[in-house]
Amino acid sequence: MATPGVFFKSITELNRMLVNREVSSRELTEAYLARMEALGPKYNALAALTRKSALDRAKAVDDDLKRKRYRGPLQGIPFGAKDLLAYPGYPTTWGAKPFAGQTFDTKAAAIENLEGKGAVLVAKLAMVELAGAGGYEYAAASLTGPGRNPWNTEHWSGGSSSGSGSAVAAGLVPYALGSETWGSILTPSAFCGVTGLRPTYGYVSRYGAMPLSWTMDKIGPICRSAEDCGLVLQALAGGDSRDRGSAGKSFYYGPQYVGALSRLTVGYNPVDFEQWAEPSTRPAFAAALEALKSLGPRFEVVELPRFPYSGVASTVIDAEGASVFEPLIRDGRVDELADRFQIASLRAALDLKSTDYLRAQRIRAKMQSELTPLFRKLDILITPSLLETANRIDRSLHSSPVRRESPSTRGLTDLGAAGNLLGWPALSIPCGFADGLPVGLQLVTRPFNESRILALGGAFQKQTDWHLRQPSAA
């Protein structure tokens, strides 16, 4: 029988237990189903249990394992999926009341790919309504209520993949699928002290996923470690003619082929860690930087060229999101959403001019031409995943932090907007705590070079234990 000790094990450890017949997939699946059912509501992380299909799949996996039919490291291991990914027989609510009863006959390609490797879906996980389309003011902008952080349930787990972040941090699933258009994998990963990978745009098919911004949407894993993220991406990636944004590329997880870390050149800016970051987080970031430097890479101070990164990202997402959700807005169902700010913003987005959208796309192309050369001399860019810890769930996300004198340089603080606009991959790894809440580092690299950030992130995690920490409440 599965014991409580399994809930925070890595994918590799669980796979070893299954192959050695120390536990069956059915036992593992039943244990995670029970844990999710008992604790998922505590964190507002659960959208729907997929009990019947999970147990059926677990039985099939056990039959395969008895016959030594091995399908890879994910075989027989439970996982969760953000509730914007379609799965037949269960609701796909997009986290929003207007779609509470919505079902699909199709299966999202990301789930399809994982199940093809023998993985077992045990739950659809909560999310911010419509993945945050239009923007929102409160963490409660969700059909299931505000995502609660397992490290302190009075604080937010982060959006919009809130349930995925909470579920992995609390040991409700070994890993989960999230999506990111602008921060929705990295934010819950950093806030909840877990490891999240935003893949290169086009690496993972979005077929069967709710669209928000077809030129920026990406699907990726939230896991316990960089190694786990690499194993999951290997199963997720691949071409798909059903997704017009598909890059048609597969991914092989091989950090050993990156070579010596001393051959890597890392770009960073001290101002991000010493001045932009909230004071309480700075000791953790300083220690994390020293740990990274001790691994041998050469560090070089860099700064992003000046562009209106956030403004361009907002314009692209608002315009494309308004197109996607135009029927919802025009027929009045938008008023059923939980967040008043989001309702108003979605309505306003319909009035965006085509000239504004096209101007944003032209600036985006200019960014591409000026930022791409950064990776001619650099292998990785590093900055805080977020400059602060998770905010309280009852606090407006628009409330101003304590006023401090702004640094004279921007450093790499716009890397979140820039990286998403340009489709760059990023890895968020936990690197310490401030005021009892986790903080994380963001590692970014050029498209289709995930192995570099996974290798450096994995080496950092072999030297530190932040990714092994467990919330006491869980």
pLDDT of residue 245: 98
pLDDT of residue 399: 84
Q: Do residues 337 and 142 touch, judged by C-beta distance below 8 A?
A: no
d(C-alpha 190, C-alpha 184), whole Å: 10
Say which of 24, 142, 157, 160 is annotated catalytic.
Answer: 160
**Buried b / exposed e along 281-317 (16+ C-beta atoms within 10 A):** bbebbeebbebbeebebeeeebebeebebeebbbbbb
Say which of 10, 24, 25, 82 is annotated catalytic.
Answer: 82
Q: Which domains does the chain possess?
A: 4-255 (3.90.1300.10)
3-state SS track over 247-273: CCCCCCCCHHHHCCHHHCEEEECHHHH
Distances (CA, A) of 224 to 43, 112, 179, 190: 18, 22, 17, 12
Model confidence over 103-131: pLDDT tens digits? 999 999 999 999 999 999 999 999 999 99
d(C-alpha 217, C-alpha 296), whole Å: 34
Query: How many Cα neighbours within 13 Å face the side chain of 430?
Result: 26
**Buried b / exposed e along 191-204 (16+ C-beta atoms within 10 A):** bbbbbbbbbbbbbb
In a structure prediction context, what are the per-residue pLDDT tens digits for the chain, which is 474 residues long?
666 789 999 999 999 999 999 999 999 999 999 999 999 999 999 999 999 999 999 999 999 999 999 999 999 999 999 999 999 999 999 999 999 999 999 999 999 999 999 999 999 999 999 999 999 999 999 999 999 999 999 999 999 999 999 999 999 999 999 999 999 999 999 999 999 999 999 999 999 999 999 999 999 999 999 999 999 999 999 999 999 999 999 999 999 999 999 999 999 999 999 999 999 999 999 999 999 999 999 999 999 999 999 999 999 999 999 999 999 999 999 999 999 999 999 999 999 999 999 999 999 999 999 999 999 999 999 999 999 999 999 999 998 666 667 898 999 999 999 999 999 999 999 999 999 999 999 999 999 999 999 999 999 999 999 999 999 977
d(C-alpha 172, C-alpha 192), whole Å: 13
pLDDT of residue 100: 97
* Sign of the C-alpha dihedral computed for residues 172, 235, 128 and 106 taken in this order: negative
**Buried b / exposed e along 410-445 (16+ C-beta atoms within 10 A):** bbbbbbbbbbbbbbbbbbbbbbbbbeebbbbbbbbb
Look at residue 405 and give its three-state secondary structure: coil
d(C-alpha 343, C-alpha 129), whole Å: 11
pTM as predicted: 0.97
d(C-alpha 356, C-alpha 366), whole Å: 15
Distances (CA, A) of 39 to 96, 119, 153, 438: 22, 22, 12, 20
Look at residue 154 and give its three-state secondary structure: strand
d(C-alpha 310, C-alpha 455), whole Å: 29
pLDDT of residue 1: 60
For the chain, give the mean pLDDT. 97
Which are the contacts of 114, defined by CB distance < 8 A and separation ≥ 6? 74, 79, 121, 177, 232, 235, 236
d(C-alpha 266, C-alpha 457), whole Å: 12
Model confidence over 41-77: pLDDT tens digits? 999 999 999 999 999 999 999 999 999 999 999 999 9
343: which 2 tokens? 């309702």
Percentage of the chain exceeding pLDDT 90 = 96
Q: Do residues 423 and 255 touch, judged by C-beta distance below 8 A?
A: no
pLDDT of residue 425: 98
Whether 82 is a known active-site residue: answer yes
d(C-alpha 165, C-alpha 43), whole Å: 10
d(C-alpha 259, C-alpha 455), whole Å: 9
Which are the contacts of 176, defined by CB distance < 8 A and separation ≥ 6? 79, 80, 81, 82, 125, 161, 163, 164, 165, 167, 168, 221, 222, 223
Say which of 157, 162, 184, 428 is annotated catalytic.
Answer: 184
Model confidence over 318-369: pLDDT tens digits? 999 999 999 999 999 999 999 999 999 999 999 999 999 999 999 999 999 9
Look at residue 178 and give its three-state secondary structure: strand
d(C-alpha 283, C-alpha 305), whole Å: 28
102: which 2 tokens? 């919505």
Query: How many Cα neighbours within 13 Å face the side chain of 299?
Result: 14
d(C-alpha 469, C-alpha 462), whole Å: 13
Whether 310 is a known active-site residue: answer no
282: which 2 tokens? 């700075």
